[in-house]
A and B are shown apart, each in its own frame.
Chain A
Amino acid sequence: MDFDLPPQHASFRDAVRELAQGVALPLAAEVDRDHRFPEKAVKAAAEAGLMGVLIPREYGGAGLDALAFMLCIDELAQACASTSVIVDVHTSVGSEPILLFGTEEQKRRWLPRLASGELLGAFALTEPGAGSDAASLQTSARRHGDGYVLNGTKVFITNIGRAGLYVVFARTGPEERAAGVSAFLVPAETPGVRAGQIFKKMGLNGSPTGELVLEDVVVPAANRLGAEGQGFTVAMRALDSGRIGISGQALGIGQAAVDEATALLKERGRGQRGSPHPASRPLGSPRLGAGGSLPTWWGGQGDDFTLADMATRLESARLLAYNAAWLCAAGRPFTRQASMAKLHCTDTAMQVALDAIQLAGEEGTISGTPFERHVRDAKALQIYEGSNQVQRIVIAREMIQ
């Protein structure tokens, strides 16, 4: 047993951290405020090779494993959650299906452009009537000569309008539910492909989310990913490892919230904000606040206990996520562990973000502070790439069946 990161993973993490803290962090508040795509951060990530973390070297990627991918998303999310979700969706569900299910020709054609960041990837499964029940999707792919004609509307698509390549799931056969679904690689410039409504969201404002509208989109058979009817398997496998990325994102937001809360309590300890922390008070001196009227609760044991609970929860979440990533990287079954990691990490991120803003008090609710941004960003994680209700279904099913 060895809980240490392998040295090459640790140095990779440090390199991502430098980029994230140097480039993504200074833009995070602005990107959120102006609902602006973090162009500069994504470009820097591409230049550093982070758009191809999971793609083998022979296809122009970094050839790293799931653990490295999770560390990368964690570090980016600590700086800017919007940037992290853009890179995450691109890298995992937007590119990995080609790696896992693509023909050699498809890999050679698409992976190098995705790895370099020339093309941004996206994943189009959800529809207005098919969310948790993805197998009920209605988008159609009708055989037409040597290709298919796609029609339908996808919804809640991350990287909408920015992506160069969409992995689209559509119904090719009359078979019921999952059995009739196939996967397609649809370049954004294909006639009939367009972005519909772009949603105004609670958080992750730098990451565009919206509808993907497909109207008589002609796709050659060479762009079908996997066999006809294999689409749902492609989607589910993509989401399994996608959940490792979302776990990393949750760890990043959670870590940022814990770090900011820690800094806050330390500052109060130095008397720079509010009442002194008890640790800075001589032993035996009266437990009174600066006004002499209230006990020194502020920065007292109540807050210390909150911080301790936050850190403990986050540590447990981190270990679950590392375990899932480690199993995945080792080629072992990891579906249940990835769902557990996604569930626990994202619930933890939400709770820790709420705890941190509570410690910060009213000033934490002011727009532009990281505290309120973390709360708004964290909520999405409990919902996307399989809501936490779906994770519970997956976990129970894996255990019972």
Chain B
Amino acid sequence: MDFDLSQEQVAIRDTVRELVQDRVAPRAAEIDEKAEYPKDIERLFADNGILGIPFPEEYGGISGSSVTICMGIEEIAKACATSSLILAVQALGSYPILVAGSEEQKKRLCPPLASGEEVAAYALSETGSGSDAAAMKTKAKRYGNEYVINGTKQFITGGSIAGTLVVFAQTDPQANHKGISAFVLERETSPWQAPKLEHKLGIRGSPTAQLVFDDVKVPAANRLGEEGAGFKIALAVLDRSRPGIGAQALGIAEGAFDYALAYARDRQQFGQPISSFQGIQFMFADMATQIEAARHLVYLAATKVDAKAPDLTKVASMAKLFASDMAMKVTTDCVQILGGYGYISDYPVERMMRDAKITQIYEGTNQIQRVVIARSLLK
């Protein structure tokens, strides 16, 4: 048993933390207000190797460990949830290649992502196929050495700005989920359209796009795994990325908690700091306990991803479920502690509360996580 991070991980964490506090934290309010993708932060992460965290060294990256990815996401999310998605989605969009790609595909497709030259995205959801991914309508038809993709994807994080996009499509519509295949689209050769970006409650700087594929051609060499293996790949990827959403929720909660704690020590009412009141102290005690419990679940799940443990699916879902529910509760309570100031956008906690909500929804709603956990228990 060892709850410590390795020296190398501590070094990466400290680098990320410093960079985030210096360069990302001061931008967070503006990114939210303008609802604009922070290209400058993407470049900052690329230049400092942060976008290389999801990749092992042999593919041009610096880690590839889920623990390290989670650590990075957590640090960034403490200051800016939108910016944490740049790393989280880089990991999500690359996992299919790392999990299911051939050696040739990994060598070819990963280095531009690991260097941050390109960013990745992951296109699974559709209008009629959210939690029920197998009901998807997007089709890929094979003509010789290439496939032609037609369809529309919905709620694709970073889908409008990605250079590399993993798309799931039916190659055999009669076979339901067993007819789904996974493809890597490179924007230059297989361009797709992003006609619509959503305006959202939170993570407002992270573009959530509707993607349209109108006779998009993709070489057969960019199919990941066999035809029909797509659904398995999609689920395997989500198993691996869910601890990252847990880490994001954890970071958002910690950011709000730290701000509210400092505020409570400073804010005077009834002639004393509000932190001296037991009602407020108990709120902080409960929040800190919840955060601590969530942190351990998130990092347990991350170690299971790295060890390819047999109970990875269950624990990853537990981490995502618990950490995101915790983040919603903690951020709502942090707004409460700041009172009226918590409700206005001059202070960061209302943004953090809005950002927390999506962690209960995306990469499998928390209802889906419960289904997954219950199924693993009853198997």
Contacts and interface: CB of A to CB of B under 8 A. Distances in A.
B203 to A, nearest CB: 9
A365 interface: yes
B365 A358 contact: yes
Contacts of B8: none
Contact of B336 (A295, A366, A383): A383
User: Which bucket holds chain B's interface residue count?
Assistant: 35 or more
Interface stretch (A95-103, A129-137, A230-238): A129-137
B270 A133 contact: yes
Nearest to B277: A389
A382 B336 CA distance: 7
A290 B367 contact: no
Contacts of A156: 340
A126 B341 CA distance: 12
Interface in B351-368: 353-354, 357-358, 360-362, 365-368
B133 interface: yes
Contacts of A203: 343
Given A132-B269, A294-B371, A366 B199 contact: yes
Interface stretch (B74-82, B123-131, B247-255): B123-131
A12 interface: no
Interface residues of A, number: 52
B343 A133 contact: no
A152 interface: no
A388 B201 contact: no
A294 B134 contact: yes
A264 to B, nearest CB: 13
A200 interface: yes
B201 A379 contact: no
A266 interface: no
B276 interface: no
Interface string A356-389: 0110011011111000100110011011100111
A65 interface: no
Contact of A274 (B131, B155, B201): B131
Select the residue from A155, A274, A295 with max chain B CB neighbours within 10 A.
A274
B86 interface: no
A376 B354 contact: yes
Given A294-B134, A367-B201, A383 B343 contact: yes
B201 A375 contact: yes
B144 interface: no
B214 to A, nearest CB: 23
A187 interface: no
B132 A383 contact: no
Contact of A362 (B128, B134, B362, B370): B362
Contacts of A384: 340
Interface string B321-335: 000000010001001
A365 B344 contact: no
Interface stretch (A221-229, A296-304, A332-340): A296-304
B176 interface: yes
Contacts of B155: 362
Contact of A291 (B132, B269, B362): B132
A293 B346 contact: no
A131 B269 contact: yes
Select the residue from A364, A389, A393 with max chain B CB neighbours within 10 A.
A389
A289 B371 CA distance: 13
Contacts of A201: 343-345, 350
Nearest to B365: A361
Nearest to B134: A291
Contact of A365 (B133, B136, B202): B202
A365 B345 CA distance: 19
A202 B332 CA distance: 12
B340 A155 contact: yes
A379 to B, nearest CB: 6
A325 to B, nearest CB: 25
Contacts of B198: 366-367
A313 B365 CA distance: 23
A302 B366 CA distance: 11
Select the residue from B199, B360, B367 with max chain A CB neighbours within 10 A.
B367
A138 to B, nearest CB: 13
Contacts of B299: none
A293 B270 CA distance: 59
Given A298-B367, A365-B358, A202 B344 contact: yes
B135 interface: yes
Contacts of B125: 362
B361 A358 contact: yes
B195 interface: no
A28 to B, nearest CB: 16
Contacts of A358: 360-361, 365-367
Interface string B106-145: 0000000000000000000100111111111000000000
Given A136-B270, A291-B133, A375 B345 contact: no
A375 B270 CA distance: 31
A136 B370 CA distance: 49
A43 interface: no
Nearest to B177: A293
B284 interface: no
Contacts of A394: none
B177 A200 contact: no
B332 A350 contact: yes
Nearest to A294: B132
Nearest to B128: A274
B29 to A, nearest CB: 11
Nearest to A372: B201
A392 interface: yes
A202 B353 contact: yes
Contacts of B360: 358
A389 B136 CA distance: 48
Contacts of B332: 350, 354, 379
Given A130-B269, A302-B367, 20 more contacts: A132-B339, A136-B269, A199-B346, A202-B345, A202-B350, A274-B130, A275-B135, A289-B132, A294-B131, A297-B368, A297-B370, A362-B362, A366-B200, A372-B200, A372-B357, A383-B339, A384-B340, A389-B277, A389-B279, A389-B336
16 contacts: A126-B340, A130-B269, A131-B269, A136-B270, A274-B130, A289-B134, A290-B132, A293-B231, A295-B375, A297-B131, A357-B357, A366-B198, A367-B201, A375-B201, A379-B353, A389-B277
Interface of A: 126, 129-133, 136, 155-156, 199-203, 209, 274-275, 289-295, 297-298, 302-303, 350, 354, 357-358, 361-362, 364-368, 372, 375-376, 379-380, 382-384, 387-389, 392-393
Interface of B: 125, 128-136, 155, 176-177, 198-202, 231, 268-271, 274, 277, 279-280, 328, 332, 335-336, 339-340, 342-346, 350, 353-354, 357-358, 360-362, 365-368, 370-371, 375
Q: 3 nearest interchain CB pairs?
A: A291-B134, A367-B199, A133-B269
